[in-house]
Amino acid sequence: MAEQERPPEEGAPSEAEYAARLEEELKRIKISDVLVQTLYTISSLGYHKLGTEHRDLPQARLAIESLRALLPVLKGATAEEVLRDFEQVVANMQLAYATAAKEGSKEAEPKEPEPQAEPEDLEQVDDAELGGEG
């Protein structure tokens, strides 16, 4: 059955009007604004990956390295205080990463078995007593 086209609802923009509005919005958007929003998103996800509940250190490291790579690109294209704030975010994430990695390595270390004490109420038995040669 062929899909029927519905007439546009009253007051709703037509496809041409919608396309024109979209074109105007795209003209106004700055790449620097998109990059700042991207940094914010990456930092939020990175902190989430550093949390104890959803810890994923490779993904957290990728977030940190991505932030470090994008920050220099924004120099001169956005406010200095924005850059400074994100540089602080990177430093905080690096510290959190180091702490999480250290905690993870402690958990991964094999624990030495505790020496088992011999029961005090048992006497040593030699082979002769067990019927063996000795």
Each domain of the chain, given as residue ranges in start order, spans: 26-103
Res 106: pLDDT: 74
Judge whether residue 60 has pLDDT over 70: yes
Mean of the pLDDT values across residues 65-92? 97
Mean of the pLDDT values across residues 105-134? 60
For 77-89, the pLDDT digits (tens) are 999 999 999 999 9
CA distance 124 to 126: 7
Listed in sequence order, the residues at least 6 apart from 47 whose beta carbon sits closer than 8 Å to its beta carbon are 93, 96
Q: In terms of pLDDT, which residue wins out, 53 or 68?
A: 68
Res 117: pLDDT: 56
Res 11: pLDDT: 76
Please report which confidence band the pLDDT of residue 104 belongs to, taking 50, 70 and 90 as the band edges: confident
Q: In terms of pLDDT, which residue wins out, 120 or 60?
A: 60
Res 94: pLDDT: 98
